[in-house]
C-alpha cells in the first residue's frame, strides 16, 4: 500500500511539530498514555495528510520521530521506520470528521471500566463538560474483529469513526478510547479530563444516590486553553 | 468597569506576597489546584482590596504576577494583563465576610462527586474538623447561569457567598469549591484537607455502615499551623 | 511539670538517632505521616526515657531536633524548643508496654475510615499479618475529651494505651492510629503496612463477598526486616 | 542442601543480566514489587539453572547481586550471600513449565483483594488479555502451611506450580501472585498489567452492573513489546 510517490503535504512549522511532541509527552506524564497510546495532528496545509510519531513509547517521542501519512494511513516516506499498528484509528477520524485536527488514542485507566459495563460515561465536572453529550462504545459490530481488540485496518477505523459520530469521545470496549478535537491543546485537555471525569464519576456512583450530570445546555467549550497548555508543556518539556 | 483612577490599597510586605505565591504552588503541587484554580488574600492595609495572580496556571505563578482588585473585582492597574474570569468568587467572599482574609477556588478531585449527589460532605477526620458544620452546594438558584457553570459576575459571586454563609467551605455543583479562612496558611490547610477528608469519607461510605462524624462540639480550629506551612512551603518553593 | 533537674538517660549512639530521623522521613515520604505525625524510640540505656523530635514536620526532622523525655512526657532539657502536643501518646505506650521500644502516631489516610465505622480493620495480606489479631478503636471513654480529639495529657495517654492492650496497633476515632513495636524498623514496617492493608481491605470489601482474613495462627512476625529498611532508608535519606 | 560442587550453567551474556536487573527495578518503580518481591530468569544455556538476585530490595538490585540456582533452588555458589526465602516459587515454576523462562513473585497491591474473596480476577482490558483464561488461587491445600503464608520449600513450590497449571498468573491467598512468561519483557508486562487490570476490574465491579470480560478467543499475546520495554527500562535505569 505504501507508495514511494505519495506526495507530501509540504513542510510544517517546527513549533507545530513541537506541540505534537509535547502533547505526546504531556499525556504520558499524566498517565493518560501508557507505552502504546498515540497522538496525531492533521497536516496544517493539506487536510488529506496527518502527522504522527513512528511506533515509539509516547514519553520518548521526539521531533525526529514525526512522520506523515495519508488518510488511508499509508506513510508518505516510511524508510525503515516501524509504524503504529492502530494508526487507522487516526486516519478514520480525519476522513469522517473535517472539523477534527487532532486525535488521541489511549488506554486511559478509568475509561476501560466504563467500556465494559452498561454504565454510561457522562460529564459531572464542568471542566469536562465536553462529555455532557455522552459517548458511545465501539465493539466491532459489522466488521471483522482483530485479536487483542486492535483497530488495524481502514474498515475498522471507519466503523469506529461512525460510532464516534459528531462527538468528541468514543470508548473502545475492553480497550480504551478515541478523543478528537479541533486542535492539539484541546485534544490534550479532552483526553486528560475524560480520565479525570471518569474517576470522579466512579466515586460519585459509589455513593449509591442519584447523580446530577452536566446538561448539554450547560456545556461550554473553553475558549482559552493557554493557561493549562502552558503549565502542562512546561512540566513535560522542562521549560516554557 | 476597570478604572485607571481606582486607588491602590498601598504597598504590601514582600513576605506576604511570597506566601500568596507559595499558597498557589503548594495547592498545585498537592493536586488541589489544577491549571485553572486560584488563591487570593485580602489587602493587609485596605480591606476593600484583594490580591490575586493574573490569569496563569497556579504552579507557574510568581511574585510579579500578583495584581490588586477592589471588592467588585475591578483591577487597580490592569495594563495588558489577562484576568481570571472567576475572580468574582473572591470579591464576593471578601465583601460578605469581613472575617475572611484568604480565599481558594479549586476543582478539587474528590469534592466534585459530593457536589453532584445528595451525599453531604462532612468531617470524619479531626484534621478536617472545620467541616464538622457541613457545607452547602451552590447551583445558580435565583441568578443567571453562565455556560460551563462559571461564576463570572458580581451577582453570581454574591449568590455564592450567600450559600457559603458563615462556614469555611461551599461546594459548587459540578464544578468545585470555595474555601475561605482568616489567613493564608489556614486557607491552604482547609483546601487540602477538604480534599483529603472527601477521599476518606468516600472510602468510609463504601463500607455501607453508619458513620460517626466529627461533631461540631469536637471541632478545634488549629492554633498553630506553622509546622505544616513550613514543610509545604519548603517542598513547593525549594527551600525554607 | 518540666524540671530542669530531670536527669538524662545518657548519650545515645548516633546511628540509633539517625535511624529515628530516617523513620520520620521514610513515613513522611510514603505518605503515612502528614505534617503533624511523629515517631519516637525508647532510650536504649534508660527505659524510663524516650527520644522524639521537637515539634516539626516529620519530613524536615534532623538529628539536631531529637529531644529526650521521661515517661510522663516531660522534656529533660526543653530550652526554647516547642513540643508535640500529643507526645503523651508515646509516653503512655512506653509506660504500659515494657516490650515496646518504638512508637508511631499517624493520621494515615485509609486508617481514618475504619476508625469511624463498625468495620473492623484486620489483616488480609501476610505482609501485614501483625493485624491478624485485630485492633481496637479509642474514643475517650472514661476520660475527658480534648477539642480536636487530641491526646494532650497523661490520663488520655494511659486510656489509649489501655485500649491498645497487648496489640501492635490501635485506632483513634476520627483521628488516626497508634503503632508500637520492639524496634524502629519494625514500627516503620507496621505503620506503613497498616495503611497498605487498609487500602487492600477497602478494595476487597467493595466486592461485596465474604473475606478470608489472615488467621492469628497464620501470623508471622518477620524475623529480618533489613531488606525493607535498606531501601526505605536509601530513598528517604539519599544514600545507603 | 547447597553443594559446592553444583556445576554452573556457564557464563551469561551481560546484556541479559542487565535486563534481569532492569526488570527488578522497573517493577519496583511501578509499585508492583515492594521491598520483598523478586524476578528471575532461566539460564539461557542450561534449562536446569535459573538466575536471581541475592536477598535484596528489588529497587536496589545490581548486576553483582545476581546468583545462579538449580531447579531445587540450591545456589551454585552461595559464598556468604543471603538467599530469598521464597525462591522455591521460582524453582517450582521452572521445573513444571518448560515454556517458562522468566518468573515474578509480587505482593501487588490490588491483586491481594482478589486473592481473599471469591471474586475472580479476569481480563477487562485488551492490554491484559493474557488474563482472559482466568487465574487460580493457591492456599496450601495438601501441603504443610508455613507461618506468614510463605512458600519456603520445594513441596510448596511444586504445589503452587500445580495450581498455576498452564496459565500465566496464579494468586497466592492473602499474599500476592506468581507471574510467568517466555521472556523478561513479557513477564514484566504481565506483572504490571495484572495489577492495572485488577484496579480497573475493581472499579468496573463497583458499578454493580454485568461486566463484559475479554473472551479467550479475543486474546492476543503481544508480538512486539519493544516499545514498552524501551520506555520502562529508560525510566528505571536512567538512559537507553
What pLDDT is attached to residue C40? 98
Q: Say if residue A159 is exposed, middle or buried (CB neighbours under 10 Å; 0-12, 13-18, 19+).
A: buried
* C25 pLDDT higher than 50: yes
Closest listed residue to residue A200, CA positions, set C196, C55, B112, C239: B112
Of B113, B148, B149, the CB nearest to A207: B113
Residues of chain A positioned with their CB less than 8 A from the CB of B146: 220
Tabulate helix, strand, coil % of chain D (nearest 5). 40, 15, 45
With beta carbons less than 8 A apart as the criterion, state whether C73 and C87 touch.
yes
Best of B109, B131, B203 to disrupt the C interface (most C CBs within 10 Å) is: B203
Report how far residue B70's alpha carbon sits from residue A44's, in angstroms, rounded to the nearest whole number.
44
Question: Is the CB of residue D165 less than 8 Å away from at least one CB of chain C?
Answer: no
What pLDDT is attached to residue A147? 85
Of C126, C199, C203, the CB nearest to D174: C126
What pLDDT is attached to residue D4? 57
What pLDDT is attached to residue A175? 97
How close A121 gets to chain D, by Cα (Å)? 11
Report how far residue D103's alpha carbon sits from residue A63's, in angstroms, rounded to the nearest whole number.
37
Tabulate helix, strand, coil % of chain B (nearest 5). 40, 15, 45
Interchain proximity A110–D196, CB inside 8 Å: no
Q: How far is CA B182 from the centre of its chain?
A: 11
Q: How confident is the model at residue D222 (pLDDT cuts 50, 70, 90)?
A: confident
What pLDDT is attached to residue A4? 57
Report how far residue C106's alpha carbon sits from residue C90's, in angstroms, rounded to the nearest whole number.
12
Mean pLDDT of D19-29: 98
Tens digits of per-residue pLDDT, D181-213?
999 999 999 999 999 999 999 999 999 999 999
pTM given for the model: 0.96
What one-character-per-residue DSSP string does D30-52 give? TTSS-TT-EEEEE-SS-TTEEEE
What pLDDT is attached to residue B221? 78
**What nine digits make up the cell of D203?**
472499579
Question: Can you say whether residue B140 is alpha, beta or left, with left for phi > 0 and alpha for psi between -120 and 50 degrees?
Answer: left
Question: Is the CB of residue D204 less than 8 Å away from at least one CB of chain C?
Answer: no
Best of D185, D203, D230 to disrupt the A interface (most A CBs within 10 Å) is: D203
Closest listed residue to residue C161, CA positions, set C183, C182, C180: C180
* D58 pLDDT higher than 70: yes
Interchain proximity A127–B149, CB inside 8 Å: no
With beta carbons less than 8 A apart as the criterion, state whether A123 and A131 touch.
yes
Integer angstrom CA distances of residue D159 from A32, D37, D142, D170: 40, 20, 8, 12
Q: Active-site residue among D68, D86, D215, D218?
A: D86
Tens digits of per-residue pLDDT, A94-133?
999 999 999 999 999 999 999 999 999 999 999 999 999 9
Under DSSP, the state recorded for B75 is: B
Mean per-residue pLDDT of chain A = 94
Report how far residue D26's alpha carbon sits from residue D231's, in angstroms, rounded to the nearest whole number.
10
Question: Is the CB of residue D31 less than 8 Å away from at least one CB of chain A?
Answer: no
Q: Read off φ and ψ for residue D45, nearest 5 degrees.
A: -100, -25
Question: Is the CB of residue A117 less than 8 Å away from at least one CB of chain D?
Answer: yes
Closest listed residue to residue D200, CA positions, set A123, A34, A146, C214: A34
* Catalytic positions of B: 86
Of A35, A59, A174, the CB nearest to D124: A174
Report how far residue B107's alpha carbon sits from residue A96's, in angstroms, rounded to the nearest whole number.
34
Of B57, B107, B173, the CB nearest to A212: B173
With beta carbons less than 8 A apart as the criterion, state whether D29 and D59 touch.
yes
Question: Can you say whether residue C106 is alpha, beta or left, with left for phi > 0 and alpha for psi between -120 and 50 degrees?
Answer: beta
Residues of chain D positioned with their CB less than 8 A from the CB of A112: 124-125, 200, 204
How close A45 gets to chain D, by Cα (Å)? 31
Known catalytic residue at D215: no
Nearest-by-CA chain D residue for A145: D218
Percent of chain C with pLDDT over 90: 89
What pLDDT is attached to residue C106? 98
Three-class SS of C60-128: HCCHHHEEEEECCCCECCCCCCCCCCCCHHHHHHHHHCCCCCEEEEECCCCHHHHHCCCCCCCCCCHHH
Q: How confident is the model at residue C1 (pLDDT cuts 50, 70, 90)?
A: very low
* C239 pLDDT higher than 80: no
Integer angstrom CA distances of residue B156 from B39, B53, B74, B87: 18, 21, 15, 11
Mean pLDDT of D167-176: 98
Of C239 and D34, more confident: D34
What is the torsion angle, in degrees rounded to the nearest 10, for the CA atoms of residue C173, residue C176, residue C180 and residue C184? 180
Mean per-residue pLDDT of chain D = 94
Residues of chain B positioned with their CB less than 8 A from the CB of C205: 206-207
Best of A131, A212, A234, A235 to disrupt the B interface (most B CBs within 10 Å) is: A212
Q: How many CB pairs under 8 A join A and B?
A: 89
Evaluated on CA atoms D150, D153, D156, D157, the torsion sign reads: positive
Best of B27, B29, B33, B35 to disrupt the A interface (most A CBs within 10 Å) is: B35
Of A107, A147, A202, the CB nearest to D203: A202
Report how far residue A181's alpha carbon sits from residue A104's, in angstroms, rounded to the nearest whole number.
9
Which residues of chain B, if any, have pLDDT below 50? 1-2, 240
Residues of chain B positioned with their CB less than 8 A from the CB of A212: 116-117, 173-174
Interchain proximity B59–A220, CB inside 8 Å: no
* A240 pLDDT higher than 60: no
Nearest-by-CA chain C residue for D111: C200
Report chain B's C-alpha Rg in angstroms: 17
Tens digits of per-residue pLDDT, C193-225?
999 999 999 999 999 999 999 999 998 877 678
Tens digits of per-residue pLDDT, A192-206?
999 999 999 999 999
Q: How many CB atoms lie within 10 A of CB D28?
A: 22
* C132 pLDDT higher than 60: yes
What pLDDT is attached to residue B226? 85
What pLDDT is attached to residue D1? 47
Question: Is the CB of residue B216 less than 8 Å away from at least one CB of chain C?
Answer: no
How close C214 gets to chain D, by Cα (Å)? 7
How close C224 gets to chain B, by Cα (Å)? 33
Q: Read off φ and ψ for residue B55, nearest 5 degrees.
A: -60, 110
What is the torsion angle, in degrees rounded to the nearest 10, for the CA atoms of residue A94, residue A100, residue A101 and residue A105? -70
Question: Is the CB of residue C174 less than 8 Å away from at least one CB of chain B?
Answer: yes
Q: Say if residue C154 is exposed, middle or buried (CB neighbours under 10 Å; 0-12, 13-18, 19+).
A: middle
Element (H, E) at C159: helix C154-164
Interchain proximity D147–C220, CB inside 8 Å: yes
Of B123, B209, B230, the CB nearest to C118: B209
Report how far residue B178's alpha carbon sits from residue B135's, in angstroms, rounded to the nearest whole number.
10
Question: Is the CB of residue A230 less than 8 Å away from at least one CB of chain B?
Answer: yes
* D2 pLDDT higher than 60: no
Amino acid at each position: 500500500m505504501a507508495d514511494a510517490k505519495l506526495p507530501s503535504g509540504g513542510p510544517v512549522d517546527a513549533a507545530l511539530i513541537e506541540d505534537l511532541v509535547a502533547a505526546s509527552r504531556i499525556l504520558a506524564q499524566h498517565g493518560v498514555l501508557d507505552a502504546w497510546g498515540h497522538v496525531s495532528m492533521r497536516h496544517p496545509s493539506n487536510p488529506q495528510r496527518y502527522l504522527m510519531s513512528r511506533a515509539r513509547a509516547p514519553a520518548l517521542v521526539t521531533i525526529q520521530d514525526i512522520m506523515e501519512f495519508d488518510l488511508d494511513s499509508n506513510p508518505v516516506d516510511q524508510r525503515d521506520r516501524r509504524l503504529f499498528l492502530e494508526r487507522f484509528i487516526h486516519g478514520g477520524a480525519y476522513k469522517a470528521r473535517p472539523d477534527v485536527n487532532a486525535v488521541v488514542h489511549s488506554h486511559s485507566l478509568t475509561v476501560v471500566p466504563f467500556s465494559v459495563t452498561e454504565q454510561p460515561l457522562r460529564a459531572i465536572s464542568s471542566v469536562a463538560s465536553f462529555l455532557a453529550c455522552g459517548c458511545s462504545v465501539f465493539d466491532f459490530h459489522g466488521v471483522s474483529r482483530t485479536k487483542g481488540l486492535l483497530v488495524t485496518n481502514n474498515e475498522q477505523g471507519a466503523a469506529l469513526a461512525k460510532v464516534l459520530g459528531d462527538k468528541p469521545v468514543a470508548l473502545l470496549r475492553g480497550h480504551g478510547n478515541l478523543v478528537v478535537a479541533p486542535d492539539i491543546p484541546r485534544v490534550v485537555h479532552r483526553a486528560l479530563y475524560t480520565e479525570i471525569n471518569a474517576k470522579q464519576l466512579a466515586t460519585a456512583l459509589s455513593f449509591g444516590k442519584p447523580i446530577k450530570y452536566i446538561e448539554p445546555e450547560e456545556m461550554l467549550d473553553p475558549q482559552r486553553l493557554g493557561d493549562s497548555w502552558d503549565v502542562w508543556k512546561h512540566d513535560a518539556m522542562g521549560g516554557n
